[in-house]
Amino acid sequence: MQSVVITGVSTGIGHAAAKVMIARGFRVFGSVRNQADAERVQAELGDNFAPLIFDVVDTAAIAKAAASVREALGGTTLAGLVNNAGIAVSGPLLEVPESDYRKQLEVNLMGPFLVTQAFAPLLGADPELQGPPGRIVNISSVSGIRAMPFLGPYSASKFGLEGYSESLRRELMLFGIDVIVIGPGPVKTAIWDKAEDVDVEQYANSPYRPILERFQKVFISQGRDGYPADRLGELIYTALTTAKPKVRYAAVKGRKIEKLMMQVASPRMLDKAIAKMLGLAKKV
């Protein structure tokens, strides 16, 4: 039985991916951050799921998890690593707290870096292991190639992940380990119910305050009508198993005309359209 490691499986994309991979005959080692989530997901996904308890910025805990997976593999290679765990920090870049911005980059950029360093030997960088080299799938975002206002911290982290993935893919050719990026748009998960409760009062005295409220409504509406998490799980399975994977898969729901406009419109044209939609045009 082939095995994969997926970070952030307690909910959302990671949970959906774990469910799909197990249904397709894989054993999944999935990271969660506490024992309660480990027990819950174990009960939901069954015997072919093995929880790993670590935060993606905790180097010691990651190393311990990698050692346990190595032991479970018994001298064979890991088929895949899915760097999925992440957070999204929003707010105007002139006013976002420094600590929030640092946390965004720490989780979304340092997290995949640390996890990949720990698990790459199991994917085939360690020549003593038997079996074909595995693959790495990094979950980026449409925000990794196109940045919206008020998602600057998140976009910075995902743009960085895209660059990191490209360099990593080329470096790991030495070991036959492929690196694939998946860049979804909004994904339909329970996170959008929580997003309604995000407090914008910290920006009560900001000139962005009314625009932030408008943006929140638009963003939540798009999310609730977003890409189904189960379909994204199937796409992750494809990226890990298809004979000749693409280097990047987009998973964005929307009308073809809207997608085409985003591809062909100039940055200045998009600036004007976004400003009109949210009320960002300078008042004269």
The two tokens of residue 138 are 């990094």
Of residues 101, 154, 208, 249, which has the active-site annotation?
154
For the chain, how many residues are written? 284
Rounded Cα distance between 141 and 128, Å, is 35
Residue bearing tokens 């997901």: 41
Decide if 164 is catalytic.
Answer: no
Distances in Å between the Cα of 36 and the Cα atoms of 41, 64, 133, 250, 266 are 9, 19, 33, 33, 48
Rounded Cα distance between 54 and 255, Å, is 39
Give CB contacts under 8 A, 24+ apart, made by 124-131: 124/77, 124/175, 124/176, 124/177, 125/172, 125/175, 125/177, 128/75, 129/73, 129/75, 129/76, 129/77, 130/75, 130/76, 130/77, 131/76, 131/77
Residue bearing tokens 């951050």: 33
Closest of 148, 151, 147, 157 to residue 93, by C-alpha: 151
The two tokens of residue 122 are 């199991």
Distances in Å between the Cα of 101 and the Cα atoms of 24, 107, 213 are 38, 10, 20
Angle, alpha carbons 236-245-261 (nearest 5°): 80
Q: How many CB atoms lie within 10 A of CB 256?
A: 7
- Give me the active site residues, please: 154
